[in-house]
Amino acid sequence: MTTAPTPPSRNVLTPEALTMMDAIARSGSFAAAARLLGKVPSALTYNVRQLEDALDVLLFDRRSRQATLTAAGRELLDEGRHLLEQMDAVANRVKRVATGWETQLGIVVDDVVSRSTMLDLCSAFYAECTVRARTSRSPPAAAAAAASPPPTRLRIRTEVMSGVWEALVTGQVDLAIGVGSDRELPSGLARKDLGTLAFVFAVAPHHPLAGAREPLDDGEIVRHRAVAVADSAHRLAPMTVHLLAGQDVLTVSDMQAKIDALMRGVGCGFVPEPMAREAIAAGRLVVKKMQRAQPIARLGYVWRVPAGRDGSARKAEPGLALRWWLERLESATTRHALLDRHGSAGAVAEVGAT
């Protein structure tokens, strides 16, 4: 009896296999990954064993009930995710060359950027680019396109501090909004100013510092717990700002959670004035003057510049979707709204005009 030959490693390293590895790692078990991928667990186990046999390595530690990756499995997962990103990028470039529209456009925004303004921009994008795509086609194709979704799928994500930069420089997104202006710009990226964002030191009315004599000095502040937002970077070194050595710290996931914590009196800290404006006006937060200078963040937006055909020239035009966003960001009104328009009050921002 003969056995089937083991397939060459190149043949088994398919997008489906890499996606399977990613699903198992993210979900933590074969059963959960099988549900996610619409497969039965036995089929997933068989596919993993085929992959292990072809590569002649163990990818998962069978001694654990969880889907625990071996060192080889971790390396395959990391490289596989990179390969999947590259495949998506190739498909995106091919689509852009053929139609002018990207298959998808990835945008990362810092946590301090107005979410409502971003949603207004998304709404305007969908409305306008559908019309553009429709009018650029022949009459029969235009009629079919009238009921079709826009040709570019948007992927919007929120990160904190270095996480924004990491998403851009690792190729996960095409446009980053809210990048610190002190970042050194490598080749292949372009940047413009977004604006400045003032921070205020705030506490709840019942916090011990609310009645303290102003201006507050660091010696007084260090005795009280600070609330900080965790930097979301995974590969780059995380940033720490506005914290004092030896100070107790409560760390939360985003700026809105920090503001909520401050209103409950569990700590003190700096927050963007536009994001805290409603709470300050309602008396739920008290702004205290400081001896040190008021922090001001200078932010920009950075995008990936398409390479020319030779891979080195930087004169290629961006795709139509990225071009649309860059045109909107040329508007001073839009840039101001992205940093200043927070909270539930106020009308929808005028983000369509440049």
The first and second tokens of residue 318, run together, are: 């961006």
Q: Which residues pair with 269 in a beta bridge?
A: 202
In angstroms, what CA-CA distances link 4 with 1, 50, 54, 351? Answer: 10, 11, 12, 61
Range 43-63 average pLDDT: 85
Report the run of H or E that residue 270 belongs to, with start and end.
strand 269-272
**Amino acid (1-letter code) at residue 184:** E
Q: Are strands 226-229 and 104-110 parallel, antiparallel or unpaired?
A: unpaired
The first and second tokens of residue 109, run together, are: 């925004």
Higher local confidence (pLDDT), 95 or 116: 116
At 178-221, the pLDDT tens digits run 999 888 888 889 999 999 999 999 999 999 999 999 999 999 99
d(Cα 298, Cα 295) in Å, to the nearest integer? 10
Per-residue confidence at 32, pLDDT binned at 50, 70, 90? confident
Residues 6+ away with beta carbon under 8 Å from 134: 142, 145, 146
The answer to whether 328 and 121 have CB atoms below 8 angstroms apart is yes
The first and second tokens of residue 321, run together, are: 């979707």
Q: Which residues pair with 110 in a beta bridge?
A: 159
Find the length of the chain: 354
**Amino acid (1-letter code) at residue 316:** A
Look at residue 267 in the predicted model and tell me its pLDDT: 97
d(Cα 156, Cα 91) in Å, to the nearest integer? 19
| Residue 253 predicted with pLDDT over 80 | yes
The answer to whether 331 and 301 have CB atoms below 8 angstroms apart is no
d(Cα 202, Cα 288) in Å, to the nearest integer? 6
The first and second tokens of residue 196, run together, are: 């400045």
The answer to whether 326 and 343 have CB atoms below 8 angstroms apart is no
The first and second tokens of residue 218, run together, are: 């660091």
Q: Which domains does the chain have, with CATH numbers?
A: 9-81 (1.10.10.10), 100-195+308-340 (3.40.190), 197-297 (3.40.190.290)
Share of the chain above pLDDT 70, in %: 82
At 132-154, the pLDDT tens digits run 655 554 454 444 444 455 678 89
∠ CA 251-237-235, rounded to 5°: 100
**Which is nearest to 229 in space by CA: 237, 241, 246?**
241
Tell the residue number behind the tokens 């891979």, with chain if given. 311
Q: Are strands 153-159 and 104-110 parallel, antiparallel or unpaired?
A: parallel
∠ CA 72-76-81, rounded to 5°: 150
